[in-house]
Amino acid sequence: MNKDYLRYICSEHNKSFEDLARAIGVNLSTFYRKLSGESDFSRNEIQIIRDQLHLSSEDVDKIFFTPALTKT
């Protein structure tokens, strides 16, 4: 999960994480748990976010299917 890239794309579309949480029908704390990897985004949730942010397939892969970078 690449939270930083999602945050960047959100800012490009004037959307907040709260907007995305509302769009997928979860509260903000649940959305943050999904971002942190405590639970997963469903296929339907990813599709809704894709539609909300007009994401390309490459963007979806980069956001949802790229392992988080570890800081050393």
Please report the pLDDT score of residue 68 as a whole number. Answer: 64
Please give the residue that has the higher pLDDT: either 22 or 67. Answer: 22
Rounded to whole angstroms, how far apart are CA atoms 56 and 32?
23
| Domains held by the chain: number | 1
Separation of CA 67 from chain center: 13
For residue 7, give its domain range. 3-64
Other residues' Cβ atoms within 10 Å of the Cβ of residue 43: 8
Q: Does residue 51 form part of some domain?
A: yes
Please report the pLDDT score of residue 66 as a whole number. Answer: 82
Other residues' Cβ atoms within 10 Å of the Cβ of residue 63: 23
Q: Does residue 71 form part of some domain?
A: no
Q: Does residue 45 form part of some domain?
A: yes
| Rg of the chain on CA atoms, in Å | 11
Q: How many residues does the chain have?
A: 72
pLDDT digits (tens, 9 = 90+) for 16-47: 999 999 999 999 999 999 999 999 999 999 99
From the list 62, 39, 38, the residue with the least C-alpha distance to 50 is 62
